[in-house]
Amino acid sequence: MEGSAPPFPVVDSPGALKALPEEDLPKLAEQIRSVLVESLALTGGHLGPNLGVVELTIALHRVFDTPKDRFVFDVSHQGYIHKMLTGRWDRIQTIRQHEGLNGFLLRTESEHDCYGAGHAGTAVSAALGMAAGRDLHKGAEHVVAVAGDAAFTCGTTFEALNNISHTTKRFILVLNDNEWSIDRNVGAIAKYFHQLQTSPTYAHLHHKAAELVERLAGRSLRNLAGKVESGAKNLLFPSVLFEKFGLRYFGPIDGHDLPKLLRTFEFLKELDEPAVLHIITEKGRGYAPALGNPMKFHGLGPYKTETGETSPSGSPTYSQVFAEALTRYAKEDHSITAITAAMPSGTGLVHFQKEIPDRYYDVGIAEEHAALFACGLAVQGLKPFLAIYSTFFQRAYDMAIHDIGIQNLPVRLCMDRAGLSADDGPTHHGVFDIGYMRHVPNWVLMQPKDEDEFADMLWTMACHDDGPIAVRYPRGAGIGATPKKAPARLEIGAFEVVAEGTDVAVFGLGNMFEVAEEAARQLREEGLSVALINPRFIKPLDGPCIERFAKTCRVLVTLEDHVVANGFGTGVLEHLCEANLFVPVIRVGWPDQFIDHGKQALLREQHGLTAEACVNRVLALLGNSPAQS
CATH level 3 topology of 496-621: Rossmann fold (3.40.50)
Amino acid at 272: D
Question: Which position among 55, 282, 324, 367 bears the catalytic label?
Answer: 367
E strands, 379-493, are: 383-389, 412-416, 444-446, 469-472
> What is the arrangement of strands in the sheet containing 360-362, beginning at the earlier edge strand?
360-362, 336-340, 383-389, 412-416, 469-472, 444-446, 537-539
Residue 520 has pLDDT above 60, yes or no: yes
Question: According to the model, what pLDDT value does residue 627 have?
Answer: 43
Torsion angle (degrees, nearest 10) of CA 113, 115, 119, 120: -100
| Nearest Cα to Cα of residue 451 among 411, 479, 423, 429 | 479
Active site annotation includes 283: yes
Cis peptide preceding 626, ω within 30 of 0: no
Residue 224 has pLDDT above 50, yes or no: no
Q: Do 348 and 184 form a contact (C-beta atoms < 8 A)?
A: no
| Nearest Cα to Cα of residue 22 among 217, 266, 279, 286 | 266
Q: How would residue 193 be classed by pLDDT, with cut points 50, 70 and 90?
A: low
CATH level 3 topology of 28-289: Rossmann fold (3.40.50)
Cα 148 from Cα 181, distance rounded (Å): 8
* Tens digit of each residue's pLDDT (9 = 90 or more) over 469-504: 999 999 999 999 999 989 999 999 999 999 999 999
* Tens digit of each residue's pLDDT (9 = 90 or more) over 565-608: 999 999 999 999 999 999 999 999 999 999 999 999 999 999 99
> What is the arrangement of strands in the sheet containing 248-254, beginning at the earlier edge strand?
70-73, 143-148, 172-177, 275-280, 248-254
Share of the chain above pLDDT 70, in %: 88
Question: According to the model, what pLDDT value does residue 231 have?
Answer: 44
* Mean pLDDT, the chain, whole residue set: 89
Residue 217 has pLDDT above 60, yes or no: no
Question: Which position among 62, 170, 395, 472 bears the catalytic label?
Answer: 395
Residue 76 has pLDDT above 60, yes or no: yes
Q: Provide the whole-model pTM.
A: 0.87
Q: Where are the domains of the chain?
A: 28-289, 318-472, 496-621
Question: According to the model, what pLDDT value does residue 242 have?
Answer: 85
More confident call, 552 vs 187 = 552
Q: How would residue 407 be classed by pLDDT, with cut points 50, 70 and 90?
A: very high
| Nearest Cα to Cα of residue 310 among 40, 98, 599, 600 | 40
CA distances from 143 to 72, 79, 91, 122, 168 (A): 8, 16, 27, 14, 11
Active site annotation includes 38: no
Residue 213 has pLDDT above 80, yes or no: no
Question: According to the model, what pLDDT value does residue 251 have?
Answer: 81
Tell me, yes or no, if the two domains 28-289 and 318-472 fold the same way. Answer: yes
Q: Do 110 and 86 form a contact (C-beta atoms < 8 A)?
A: yes
CA-only gyration radius of the chain, Å: 27
Residue 223 has pLDDT above 60, yes or no: no
Cα 154 from Cα 449, distance rounded (Å): 34
Residue 118 has pLDDT above 80, yes or no: yes
Let me know how long the chain is.
629
Tell me what the mean pLDDT of segment 71-98 comes to.
93
* Cα dihedral 347, 391, 410, 358 sign: negative
* Tens digit of each residue's pLDDT (9 = 90 or more) over 291-330: 888 777 777 788 888 888 887 777 899 999 999 999 999 9
Cα 9 from Cα 20, distance rounded (Å): 10
Residue 237 has pLDDT above 90, yes or no: no
Range with the lowest mean pLDDT among 110-114, 307-311, 356-360, 577-581? 307-311
Q: Going by DSSP bridges, is the β-strand pair 70-73/336-340 parallel, antiparallel, or unpaired?
A: unpaired
Cα 135 from Cα 365, distance rounded (Å): 31
Alpha carbon 406 to chain centroid distance?
Answer: 28
- Note the CATH architecture for domain 318-472: 3-Layer(aba) Sandwich (3.40)
Residue 360 has pLDDT above 70, yes or no: yes
| Nearest Cα to Cα of residue 428 among 183, 184, 611, 182 | 182
Question: According to the model, what pLDDT value does residue 186 have?
Answer: 56
Alpha carbon 587 to chain centroid distance?
Answer: 28
Residue 524 has pLDDT above 80, yes or no: yes
Highest mean pLDDT among 38-47, 75-84, 223-232, 458-467: 458-467
* Tens digit of each residue's pLDDT (9 = 90 or more) over 411-466: 999 999 999 998 889 999 999 999 999 999 999 999 999 999 999 999 999 999 99
Q: List for the chain the helix, strand, coil content (%; round to 5).
A: 45, 15, 40
Active site annotation includes 266: no
Residue 198 has pLDDT above 50, yes or no: yes
Range with the lowest mean pLDDT among 90-104, 297-311, 547-561? 297-311
Q: Do 394 and 415 form a contact (C-beta atoms < 8 A)?
A: no
| Nearest Cα to Cα of residue 501 among 552, 452, 453, 459 | 552
Range with the lowest mean pLDDT among 71-75, 111-115, 141-145, 179-183? 179-183
- Apex 422 CA angle, 419 and 427, nearest 5: 75
Residue 235 has pLDDT above 60, yes or no: no
Tell me what the mean pLDDT of segment 263-273 comes to.
94
Question: Which position among 96, 283, 472, 536 bears the catalytic label?
Answer: 283
Neighbouring C-beta atoms of residue 79, cutoff 10 Å: 28
Cα 536 from Cα 511, distance rounded (Å): 11
Question: According to the model, what pLDDT value does residue 358 have?
Answer: 97
